[in-house]
Chain A
Amino acid sequence: MLATMLIYIFGALAIFSGLMMILYRNPIHSALWFGLVLFSLAGIYALMQAHFLALIQILVYVGAITVLIVYVIALLNFDQRDLVGKVTILKGIAVIVAAILFIELLFYVGGLYVKGIAPPPEFGKAANIGLATLTRYLFPFEVISILLLVAVVGGVYIAKKD
């Protein structure tokens, strides 16, 4: 009972702070609201037995990514007056397309609500995640190291003065 209530609370919080994130004009405020979105998602993960994922979500997303975004905004140091948006036809089209996509997704996910597949009881435990990454998902796990290396090589090339 408590868990169900908490899920609703975290869900409402996520939606509310998500709205706040796009409605605020000051990008720093948006970034902080974004942090709250990620935090409430972490709460939902924790309630869905994915404790490890919840911790990682807080460590990586709330801790690192949000801070990074705040840093980038602070370093860019742009004029707030430039951020005033104008209403254009393209934006109107974008709103319509986004609305259609939203309704479609509601329709898709709505069908799932009854027929959803419940996660196995041991789902999301740190030990299981460790086992999965080192047995079944060993190859993707190793391949990620190449992905990180490529990102480093590319980043250094782009950023370095020569």
Chain B
Amino acid sequence: MKLDINYFVILPQIVLTFFFLLQLVVDAYSRSTGRKSYVGYLALVGYALLAAIPVVVWGVTDTGFNGMVLFDKFAQFMDFLFGIVGILIVLIAPRYLDDVGRDRGEFYILLTASLLGMSIMVSTTNLILFLIALEIMSLAVYVMAGFEKEKGRSVEAAFKYFIMGGVASAVFLFGVALVYAGTGSVDASLIAKKVAGCKVLPVVLGGLTLVLAGFFFKIAAVPFHMWTPDSYEGAPTPATAFMAVGVKAAAFAGLMRILIVSVKPYPLVIEAILWTVAFLTMLIGNFMAVIQDNLKRLLAYSSIAHAGYMLLGLLAYKNGGLSAVLFYLLVYAFADIGAFAVLIALGKDGEPVEYIDQIKGKASIHPLLGAAMIIFLFSLAGVPPTAGFFGKLFLFKSAISAGYIWLAVLGILTSVVSLYYYLRVLVYMYMYEPSDVVPARQSVSVGIGLAVMSFFVLYLGTVPAKFIDIAIDALKKLV
């Protein structure tokens, strides 16, 4: 077999690897000379490039390394999303890390590494390469979750995530082994050829089920969600935001690529599994969020619920469900990171915001933060005219036209439930007297981040058609 080296298709990965290594060297150098490390700025440049590459080369597609790496519109769309998520996390992270006295360059280095893993994940159908990339992403995120390593809860978060993640990876790998045993291939596109036309071997179905279980863990779907609240609560808030948005987006993209390419149409078992998991995830995620007093736990359960909504789109892949998921991921990224960013902005030195009591009456001291929180939470709940409304509309519409009417009804009903707990946060912010009137420290970068995110939540809500068209375009080759 000949070498098929194609530097164009791994351009995003080359950029990220370059910045990853550069950050390592710069951080080590500035540490040894006792200067403040500026790796955060390097990260910004790197992620801006990551987001810019797809915009520049949009539509120029190629494959390389003997079909191992696909640089198609889907990968480009996801690279763009990852770049944006990375930039937003870098904007909100310094303030929090400063508050808890952990402003260390490693955070951005690990962030770059995990983005690198994600960007490889979304550009391959080869399960071995996918698993390696998944591990790069996960290892970096485990450490980010335990970044406040002197704080017990942060370590607990990291440890739980690590143990459960390790088991999930093992299950995933076992599934890949079974799929290989049944089809003789580890490439989803070749698996599809083996599966198509003939009856699917039980061993392949079993393998795919285990692969699905690995994915469900990463997207925090019920019943693989047990680690989520604890890990999200204990992890540093910017890391939590990244886990809730970045990791979930990468896992969903991988799920789309692998599942849709390898088994289309779904065998009955896979469809039943997706149906059940979507049902439980929407139900349990939303109802558990109602009883939370810890805001990070609340957002954790809400992120579980959102995974449930997006699973609807995966089920309805024939009726535009996938493009709805891509659009939803984009909207969800802005709104969810935004909500976490407001928590960060309200925090004080050594006293980050976690409990709902801590934000009592804060809107009267910080009217702009209050307004931003309204926008983000309304978008998460799906209230028009925010982008979240259209995200849910597209998802439910595709689910209904694909015949999953009961799931769509459940989705709409649980969205009403979600309105209760999102509004409760706003009631605490607006309707109570503030317990102390000392305003929180201002931070320029968080301010910029919040402005950008609120703008996009509203902008995506005004012209959703434009972006849904891009999402449909990105998926043309996949479906």
Contact = CB atoms under 8 A, between A and B. Distances in A.
Nearest to A116: B181
Interface stretch (A14-22, A53-61, A147-155): A147-155
Contact of A143 (B2, B3, B110, B129): B129
B113 interface: yes
A101 B126 CA distance: 26
Interface in B77-135: 104, 106, 109-110, 113, 116-117, 120, 126, 128-129, 132-133, 135
Contact of B142 (A115, A137, A144, A154): A154
Interface stretch (A28-36, A63-71, A77-85, A106-114): A106-114
Contacts of B24: 153
B203 A112 contact: yes
A136 interface: yes
B17 interface: yes
Interface string A116-147: 11000000000000010011111110011011
A74 interface: no
A72 interface: no
Contacts of A112: 181-182, 201, 203
A135 B450 CA distance: 46
A135 B113 contact: no
B416 interface: no
A108 B203 contact: yes
Contacts of A104: 206
A113 to B, nearest CB: 10
A31 to B, nearest CB: 18
Contacts of B3: 134-135, 138
A109 B182 CA distance: 9
B181 A140 contact: no
A108 B178 contact: yes
Given A111-B201, A146-B116, A147-B132, A138 B65 contact: yes
**A: contact size bracket:** 20 to 34
A13 to B, nearest CB: 21
B10 interface: yes
A158 B113 contact: no
A105 to B, nearest CB: 7
A140 B128 CA distance: 8
Contacts of A149: 113
Nearest to B135: A147
A143 B109 contact: no
B201 A150 contact: no
Contacts of A140: 68, 126, 128-129, 132
A134 B66 CA distance: 12
B77 to A, nearest CB: 21
Interface centre among A104, A105, A158 (most CB of B within 10 A): A158
Nearest to B112: A150
Contacts of A158: 143, 146, 149, 158
B136 interface: yes
B178 A146 contact: no
B339 interface: no
Contacts of A143: 120, 129, 132-133, 136
A107 to B, nearest CB: 6
A134 B5 CA distance: 11
A153 B65 contact: no
A150 B110 contact: yes
5 contacts: A136-B1, A149-B113, A153-B110, A154-B139, A157-B106
Interface of A: 104-105, 107-109, 111-112, 115-117, 131, 134-140, 143-144, 146-147, 149-151, 153-154, 157-158
Interface of B: 1-3, 5, 10, 17, 20, 24, 64-66, 68-69, 104, 106, 109-110, 113, 116-117, 120, 126, 128-129, 132-133, 135-136, 139-140, 142-143, 146, 149, 158, 178, 181-182, 184, 201-203, 205-207
Given A139-B64, A147-B132, 6 more contacts: A137-B68, A139-B68, A139-B69, A140-B128, A143-B132, A158-B149
Considering the complex of A and B, which 5 residue pairs feature the smallest CB-CB distances, nearest first? Answer: A108-B206, A154-B143, A139-B65, A140-B129, A117-B184
